[in-house]
């Protein structure tokens, strides 16, 4: 517990960690990112590169700061040390240019608007030149992309949890962002819905070519969906391991029965177990 009450001097001392990340084709890159909040070292010396068009998962125990790292990428928090950039821009600027789509665990739809108006809600604020009809058309198009084309006029309370989350994904995609940042988007859903949502997300990813960063605590989900998995350790939050998932796309749920999948699950589980051990630096 004591270790978490660190100062910036301590972060600097840890900067000797060798950088192994390639920055050539990176759409998102974090360089030497540390974050101190209320005198607690939350994230320490994160180096991360997300290649354009890839699907990257961040996995780690509760409290490792994986959601916080996502917030840094979204520009909702500023790093104490180091920098984050999206296509060379600071995240706040990238967000203003509609390059970032956000999806959280809760869909947070507006209960007074129907599905299609919810899907175009953020777009209507980001681009005030669009007419009501244009917004509707864009919302409808996005609902169709997430498989809710015939639910456009339903109110949020008429939709299931999974459907609400689909609308939330449509709302993010309506901005036509380069990057989709997702913070445990299926965390509140039951196992079966979760599987089919994951499959849909893969489908959307392949059709749109978006770059996706997914925060999850599900090992299966991380391996099933992503091309790269980064494991975060706790106290302080840092990247302890990175794993490339070299399974071919398109992937479906039958993948989970293959020996290579099972081998990766075991490998990732071992990495996660080790990441639970607190440590000052790797």
Partner 1 sequence: MSDQSLNTAAESRLTPILVAANDRWLPAIILLVATVVAWEAAVRIFDISAFIVPAPTAIARSLIDQWPSLMQATLVTAGEILFGFIVSVAVGIAIALVIVRFDWLGRALYPLVVLFQNVPKVALAPIFILWFGYGLAPKIGLILVIAFFPVTLSMLAGMQSVDRSLLSLMNSVGASQSQILFRIRVPHSLPQLMAGTKIAATLSVIGAIVGEFAGAQDGLGYVIQFASTQLDTAQVFAALLLVSVLGIVFYYAAEILERVVVPWAPKFSRA
**What are the residues binding partner 1 (CB under 8 A)?**
71, 74-76, 95-96, 98, 100, 102, 104-106, 108, 110-112, 122, 125-126, 155, 157, 171, 175
CB of 144 to partner 1, least distance (A): 22
Q: Least Å distance between CB 263 and partner 1?
A: 36
Residue 132 tokens, joined: 């009501």
Nearer to partner 1, 32 or 75 (CB): 75
SS3 at position 18:
coil
Chain centroid to CA 55: how far? 9
**What is the DSSP-derived secondary structure letter of residue 188?**
T
What's the closest the beta carbon of residue 15 comes to partner 1, in angstroms?
A: 30
Of 104 and 205, which has the nearer Cβ to partner 1? Answer: 104
CB closer to partner 1, 155 vs 267 = 155
Distance CA 177, CA 96 (A): 11
Q: Least CB distance from residue 38 to partner 1, whole Å?
A: 17
Residue bearing tokens 């005198």: 39
Query: Which is closer to partner 1, CB of 70 or CB of 272?
Result: 70
Least distance to partner 1 from the beta carbon of 154, Å?
A: 11
Q: From edge to edge, which strands make up the β-sheet containing 179-183?
A: 100-103, 179-183, 211-216, 55-59, 228-233, 238-244
Rank residues 1 and 125 by Cβ distance to partner 1 and give the closer one.
Answer: 125
b or e along 91-100 (b: 16 or more beta carbons within 10 Å of the residue's beta carbon)?
beebbeebbb
């Amino acid at each position: 517990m004591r270790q978490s009450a660190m100062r910036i001097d301590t972060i600097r001392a840890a900067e000797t960690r060798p950088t192994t990340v390639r920055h050539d084709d990176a759409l998102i890159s974090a360089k030497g990112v540390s974050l101190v909040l209320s005198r607690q070292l939350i994230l320490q010396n994160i180096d991360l590169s997300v290649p354009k068009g890839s699907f990257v998962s961040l996995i780690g125990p509760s409290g490792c700061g994986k959601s916080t790292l996502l917030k840094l990428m979204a520009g909702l928090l500023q790093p104490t040390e180091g920098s984050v950039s999206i296509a060379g821009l600071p995240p706040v600027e990238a967000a203003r240019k509609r390059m970032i789509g956000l999806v959280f665990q809760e869909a947070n739809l507006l209960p007074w608007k129907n599905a299609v108006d919810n899907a175009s809600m953020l777009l209507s604020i980001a681009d005030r030149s669009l007419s009501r009809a244009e917004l509707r058309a864009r919302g409808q198009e996005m609902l169709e992309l997430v498989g809710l084309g015939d639910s456009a006029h339903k109110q949020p309370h008429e939709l299931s949890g999974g459907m609400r989350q689909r609308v939330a994904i449509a709302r993010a995609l309506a901005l036509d962002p380069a990057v989709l940042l997702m913070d445990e988007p299926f965390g509140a859903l039951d196992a079966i819905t979760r599987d089919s949502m994951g499959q849909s997300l893969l489908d959307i990813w392949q059709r749109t070519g978006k770059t996706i960063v997914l925060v999850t605590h599900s090992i299966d989900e991380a391996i099933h969906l992503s091309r790269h998995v980064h494991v975060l350790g706790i106290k302080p939050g840092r990247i302890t391991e990175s794993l490339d998932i070299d399974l071919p796309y398109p992937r479906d749920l039958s993948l989970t029965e293959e020996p290579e999948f099972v081998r990766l699950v075991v490998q990732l589980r071992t990495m996660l177990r080790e990441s639970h051990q607190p440590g000052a630096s790797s």
